[in-house]
Structure 1
C-alpha cells in the first residue's frame, strides 16, 4: 500500500504533519472572520442597491460599473505589489492594516451623498482589500502542511458563506429598519475592531529560509516559473470564468428576489444570506475535506472535484432563476451555492502547491488579478447592462434572463479545470525539486 501511495502521489504530499495546533487553529479562526468581513463590506451594496438607486438616481448599468469596475481596479492592480511585500515582510501586519483600511472605507460609504463619492469609496475599498487574500493564503500555507492545507484554506474561504449566513441578514435588517447608511457604519466599525485583534493576538508564522527570514525570488523569477506551469494558466482561465458568474450572482441575486419575487430588502437578505451562506459553508468545507483526502491518492482531485461541483451547479442555478415558485427557487439557490462553492479551498491548495513556498503570496496575487479583472468587472457590469437593454421588453423580469446568460461561464470553467488537472502532477513535482539556482524547469 505504501509503495502505491508513493507512486501516485508526489513525495511529501501524503506526509502527516502537526497542522492543527492551538495557534494554527486560532490563526485560522481570526483570518476566516476577516475574510467574512471583506465579503460583507463588498456585499452590502447588493442588498441596498434599490435603496441607493432610488436615493441617488443611478441606472443599473452605473450600479454594475460601481459595484465591479470601481472596486476591482485597484483591488487587482495593487494585489501583486502588496503580495511582493508579503513574500518579504510581515504578513500579519499587512493583513491587519488592510482590514482596518477597508473597514474605514466601509464606514465612509455610509456617508456618501452622490455617485462620485460612492465610486471613490468603492475604489479605495478595493485598494485596501488587495491586502487580504495573498497574505492570508501565504500565512495559512506556512501554518498548515500539504495534508491539512486544502481543508484549512477551505475553512478560510468559507468565510464568504459565514458572511452571507450571519452577517448579511443583520446588515439587511439594519438597512431596512435604520437606513442603508447605518448598515455600513456598523459593518465598518466591527471590521476595525477585528483588525486590532489580529494585530495584537496573532503571531506571524515562521517561514522557510535562513533564520526563518523570507528569501523571496524576484518577480521575474516568479513569472518565469508560472509561465512554464501549464496548469496555472488553465486555473486562471477557469477561475476567471467562475468569477464572472459568482460576482454577477452575488451582486444581483437580492435584486432578483426583490424584482421577480416581490421581497423587501430585509426579506431578500434574510432569504439569500442564510441559504447561500449555509450551503456555501457546507460546500467549501466539505469540498476541501473530500479533496484533501482524495488528493493523497491522486492530486488531480484538487481540480477534478471542483470541476464536478461546477457542472452540478449549472442546472441548480437554472432552477433558481426559472422557477416562479419561491421555495423551489430557493432550493435551487441552495444547491447551486453548495456545489459551486466546492472549488474554493482545493483550487487555492492546488495553486500554492505548484510553486515554492517563497512564491506563494505573489502567485496568489497574480491569480487573483487575472480572476478579478475579468470576473468582478464583467459579471456585475454585464448583468446591469443587460437589465437596462432588456427592461423595455421584459420589465422587472429582465434580471432573470440576464443572470441566465452568466451560467454559460460555469460550463466553460468546468472544462478548463478538467484540463488543468491533467497538468497538475508534473507541476507539483517541479515545485518540489525547485531551487533558486536552477530556476524554472520547462
Structure 2
C-alpha cells in the first residue's frame, strides 16, 4: 500500500497484514472448509459398506457420490456467490455451514439409495455457500502480495480433514457403523456455525487494494461480460474443470481402489493412507504458497507457471500409483500425487482474485466451482463407475485400476491450460484495476 493510502487510513485499523483478526478469520474459514471437505468425502469411505448393505451397482454409487451432490452444489453456487458479492458474506457462510451439517447428520438416517441421493442433493446446496464467499472474504483481508500464501493456507483444509478427522471417521464407521459416522461428522458444525457468526467480522470490500477499482458496483450481466473478456480467467476456468475431474474421481474411488486392488480394509485406509495424503498434501500446498509468496514483481507469470508444472507432473504420478505392482512403487506414486495435486489451489484462486473486480470475486470463484463440480465431480466419479461395471467381466475387481486412469490424463490437460494463462496474467491484472 502506498504512502498516501497509508496516511489516509491512519484513523482506522491496519488491514491486509498478519494481525490477530486476520489470522483468526482465516483460521476459522479454514476450519469450516475442513468440515466442508470431510462431510462430502466420508461418503467415499462408506461406499463399500453402503454397496454391501443396499446391494447397488457401482454406476448407482457413482451417480450418488458425484451427480447427486454436485447438481445443487454447482447450480446454487452461482446465485449464492452473486449475493455474497453484495451482502454479508459471513452470514451466508454461517447459514450454509449449519444447513449442510444438518444434512450430514440426516445422511446417517437414510433407508435406501434414493434417500441418500436426496440427502446429498441438499448437502450440496448448503456447501455451495462455503468456498466462493470464503475466497472473497480472504481476498478482502490480505493484500495481493500475501493472497497466494493466505489462500494456500486456506487450501490445506482438505489435508487437515484427512490428517485429523478422516481416521476418526474411519474408526467410528468400523466400530459403530457408517451411519454413526455421518451423525458424528455433522453435529460439531452446528455449534461452530454459531461461533463463527458471533466472533468473525465481515471485512470491508476493497480495503486492502492499492487503489479503488472502477468495478466497485457491477450487475450480473456486466460481471459475466467482463469475465468472458478475460483470457487468463477463461484458461483458469478450463484448467480448474480438468483438475476437478481428477480430484473428485480420486476422492470418490481411491478408498474402493485400495480395498479391491490392495486388499486394504476401510479402517486401514482411514488411519494410514488418509493421513499420509493429508500430510503430504498440506506440505505441497504450503510449499507452493511460500514459493510463490516470495516471487518478485518481475516473476509474475511464474505465479501461475509453478502450479501448472505441478499439475502436469500429477499425471505420471497417478499412473504410477494405479499401475504399480510392488508396494513401494504404488506408495511412491501415491506420495507424489498427494504432494502435487493441490499445489495449484492457492495460487490459481489468488490469480483469479487478481484479474477481476472486488465486487466480482465470489461470482468468479463460483463459476470456477460450477464448471469444476458440474463437469469434474459429475462426470469424473460417474465415468469411473460406468467403466468399472463395463470392465468387470474381463478384469474382475482389478477393473477399477484401469477405470481410474482418467485421473492421470486430466491433470496434464489442466497444467497446459494454466501454463497458457500465464501469458496474459499481468495484462489482465492491469485491466481489473481499471487502467
TM-score (norm 1): 0.91
1:292 CA displacement: 2.2
Partner of 2:236: 235
Are the aligned partners of 1:275 and 1:333 in contact in 2 as well (CA < 8 Å)? Answer: no
1:219 to 2:220 alignment: yes
1:215 CA displacement: 5.1
1:293 CA displacement: 1.8
1:191 CA displacement: 1.5
1:123 CA displacement: 0.4
Partner of 1:401: 402
Partner of 2:364: 363
* Structure 1 unmatched ranges of 5 or more: 1-15, 435-442
Partner of 2:146: 148
1:17 CA displacement: 7.2
Relative to structure 1, the CA distance from residue 85 to residue 21 in structure 2 (aligned partners, 3 Å threshold; closer, same or farther) is same
1:393 CA displacement: 0.6
The equivalences for 1:68-83 within 5 A come to 68-83=66-81
User: 168, 173, 190: which is aligned to 1:170?
Assistant: 168
1:294 CA displacement: 2.0
1:79 CA displacement: 0.8
Please state whether the residue corresponding to 2:18 is helix, strand or coil.
coil
Relative to structure 1, the CA distance from residue 54 to residue 84 in structure 2 (aligned partners, 3 Å threshold; closer, same or farther) is same
Are the aligned partners of 1:295 and 1:301 in contact in 2 as well (CA < 8 Å)? Answer: no
Are the aligned partners of 2:315 and 2:412 in contact in 1 as well (CA < 8 Å)? Answer: yes
* Structure 2 unmatched ranges of 5 or more: 1-13, 208-214
Q: Distance in 2 between matches of 1:344 and 1:337?
A: 13
Are the aligned partners of 2:47 and 2:256 in contact in 1 as well (CA < 8 Å)? Answer: yes
User: 191, 194, 200: which is aligned to 1:193?
Assistant: 191
Q: Distance in 1 between matches of 2:106 and 2:16?
A: 43
Q: Distance in 2 between matches of 1:183 and 1:341?
A: 26
Are the aligned partners of 1:247 and 1:379 in contact in 2 as well (CA < 8 Å)? Answer: yes
Partner of 2:373: 372
Are the aligned partners of 1:284 and 1:341 in contact in 2 as well (CA < 8 Å)? Answer: yes
Are the aligned partners of 1:88 and 1:215 in contact in 2 as well (CA < 8 Å)? Answer: no
Bigger shift: residues 193-202 or 249-258:
193-202
Partner of 1:420: 421
Q: Distance in 1 between matches of 2:136 and 2:75?
A: 19
Partner of 2:319: 318
Matched residue count: 415
1:88 CA displacement: 0.9
Q: Distance in 1 between matches of 2:248 and 2:28?
A: 24
Q: List structure 1 segments (4+ residues) > 6 angstroms apart after TM superposition.
A: none
Partner of 1:52: 50
Are the aligned partners of 1:313 and 1:335 in contact in 2 as well (CA < 8 Å)? Answer: yes
Relative to structure 1, the CA distance from residue 149 to residue 178 in structure 2 (aligned partners, 3 Å threshold; closer, same or farther) is same
Partner of 2:334: 333
